[in-house]
Amino acid sequence: MFSATDHGYMAQALRLAEKGLYGTSPNPRVGCVLVRDGKAVGSGWHKRAGEPHAEINALAVAGAAARGATAYLTLEPCSHHGRTPPCAEALIKAGVARLVTAMKDPNPLVSGRGCALMEEAGITVQTGLMEAEARELNIGFITRMAEGRPWVRMKIAASLDGKTALNNSVSQWITSEHARRDVHRLRARSCVVMTGIGTVLADDPQLTVRHIKTSRQPLSAVVDSRLEIPVDASLLRGAGELIFTATASEGKILALHDMGARTIVLPDENESVDLAGMMRRLADFEINEVLVEAGCRLNGALINAGLVDELVIYLAPYLLGDRARGMFKLAELTDLAEKRPVKIRDLRMVGPDIRVTARFS
Ligand code: AOF
Ligand code: ZN
């Protein structure tokens, strides 16, 4: 159904979409290439929510040359009036003759209607070219639209023997500068960087993107059951930080509000934060990708609750011994059948460290 030429142009559209990796949230990353008579006559990508979609940027470049062209699109064109008017209509009006998309838009406002509109206008529509790659690019957006929860990626920096900190909680500078820069790329693509109160009290992290260029900062979130966060914590920057707690202590909530943070009281039956409810709430806030950078307690609790999709583990080339802290506080297993299987997706060197990417299920 698809030729090598089709593959080449879709790969180009995917590379364009990737330029939006740090910028488009809560919208998906989308790229578009318009091809006529074997030549790319226009291309574009979606840069920021509220700004024109990929198709509109590509059509602006192509002008009249879009007539009779094939549009290669990493996501089905939208059919709804959102922050911007429907792209399907714009493509039809421009006289595009054929549409090749990588995947259907999982947004229930679109969900097949964009392609249907184009077909009704007599345009040839083909879907599914390089779909796996397109899904990877928008894994958080797709998870939120399909499941009402964000994609949860957990980052851990450890020694080769899997230790994240000394028992006296000294934990900084576990991995190399290369690995730390790599982590900032993970932060930059995330909508939220989340940590636990233990890490806030021990390390006072900023959780911002530094060392690399980005057009936006992710939101910080803290899981803080007893609302112990100091009002002068470094991560409180007045950017609407999210504090999830199980304790409705009004005075502290007001003090945090004055710091520009938002406290969400979401207790479970054990007076801890209802973690599954927290993820649903994040999806309501249009959060696509969450990066968890926490200690073994929150890490373990999230894994126990089945709320983690992906692990990104950096291993530094030294040993800390079995008295140092582990990655996940989990209940002791008595039977190997209870082990938690993951699938290794990627393995590579980052400077002197190893990066392992694994996924649950
Ligand atoms: C496209 N091309 O480049 C993108 C699309 O609020 P709006 O108007 O920006 O619409 C956002 C929705 O549009 C988003 O949820 C997704 O369904 C679709 N994104 N569609 O045709 C694009 N970014
Ligand atoms: Zn659109």
| Average pLDDT estimate for 283-311 | 97
pLDDT at 313 over 70: yes
- Quick one: pLDDT at residue 144? 98
- Quick one: pLDDT at residue 170? 64
Q: How is residue 92 annotated by DSSP?
A: H
Which residue CA neighbors atom 17 of ligand 1 most closely?
Answer: 107
In this prediction, the answer to ipTM > 0.90 reads: yes
For 53, the enclosing helix (H) or strand (E) is none
Residue 131 appears among annotated catalytic residues: no
SS3 category, 146: helix
| Average pLDDT estimate for 123-151 | 98
Backbone angles phi and psi of 147, in degrees to 5: -120, -5
**pLDDT tens, residue by residue, 59-80:** 999 999 999 999 999 999 999 9
From 104-108, 187-191, 196-200, 331-335, the region with the lowest mean pLDDT = 331-335
Q: Which of 269, 271, 262, 268 minimizes the C-alpha distance to 244?
A: 262
- Quick one: pLDDT at residue 165? 82
- Quick one: pLDDT at residue 166? 80
Atom of ligand 1 nearest to the CA of 107: 17
Q: Which of 325, 310, 320 minimizes the C-alpha distance to 358?
A: 310
Domains and CATH numbers, the chain: 4-138 (3.40.140.10), 148-360 (3.40.430.10)
Please report which confidence band the pLDDT of residue 361 belongs to, taking 50, 70 and 90 as the band edges.
confident
Q: Give me 5's structure tokens.
A: 């030429």
Summary mean pLDDT of the chain: 96
Rounded-to-integer distance, Cα 153 and Cα 54, Å: 27
DSSP symbols for 26-46: TSPP-EEEEEETTEEEEEEE-
Check: CB of residue 186 under 8 Å from CB of residue 359.
no
- Quick one: pLDDT at residue 169? 64
From 22-31, 150-159, 184-193, 325-334, the region with the lowest mean pLDDT = 325-334
Which residue CA neighbors atom 21 of ligand 1 most closely?
Answer: 77
- Quick one: pLDDT at residue 293? 97
Phi-psi region of 63 (alpha: psi -120 to 50; beta: other; left: phi over 0): left
Atom of ligand 1 nearest to the CA of 78: 21
Backbone angles phi and psi of 325, in degrees to 5: -80, 145
pLDDT at 171 over 80: no
Q: Point out the catalytic residue in the list 18, 55, 136, 338.
A: 55
